[in-house]
Amino acid sequence: MFVFQYVWYAKILILCLNDFALLTRRTAIKQLLVVSTGILLVPSCMEDRTKGSFLLKNYSLSAAQENLLAEIAEAIIPKTSTPGAKDVYAHQFVMKMMDDCATKEEQQNFVKGLDAFADFAEKTAGTSFMKATPVQRSSVLEAIEKKKSDESDEAKFYRRMKSLTVRGYTSSQYFLTQVQVYNIIPGSFKGCVPVSSNT
């Protein structure tokens, strides 16, 4: 695909050079616009599609790892008559909180725990978490919930993931406008209220 684009640019350049004698200002501007537009589009075509959906400053996750995070969050708070964690982008909240608020060691442990969780899910369910049915995913989460005092990588990851998922969900726009409506100032201020003589 990239070779095709470079060949196309080369053809345009050759056409420009061949028609140099017949080149008018109008065609020169047109060709210049076509070439510059192509040059601007090349970086977007060469973009690495394996990266996550947004830039993390302090650690990195692949697109597959981000999808796994989204599915774990959805398994923690599934979609019912209300949106699930994936619908309110709770997994992106988790990613951003880990990027901004966690130490480098915690970030490394989080990524290591994510990989350990994927291995644990495959051993427990017999298939990857991404391919597992909702029942299998539920059994994986139940199995890891039983490991509360366990200090394994997957258990520590799951506890942190669950905590941040719930926090992300309960601070989402949907939750604060539809479920638990948040009033910035509780109650209203009434500056002029008649006072009864009994008080």
Write out pLDDT tens, residues 15-64.
Answer: 656 655 556 777 778 877 887 787 777 766 665 555 656 778 888 888 88
DSSP 86: T
The token pair at 88 is 């309110």
Give the pLDDT confidence of 96-133 residue by residue, as tens digits. Answer: 999 999 999 999 999 999 999 999 999 988 899 999 99
Comparing CA positions, the residue from 46, 48, 50 lying closest to residue 2 is 46
- Domain borders along the chain are 2-45, 63-179
Q: How far apart are CA 154 and CA 115, in angstroms?
A: 8
Alpha helices in the chain (DSSP H): 2-18, 25-45, 63-76, 90-101, 104-125, 134-145, 153-170, 173-174
Identify whether the C-beta of residue 52 lies closer than 8 Å to the C-beta of residue 66.
yes
Q: 16: closest CA among 33, 37, 31, 34?
A: 31
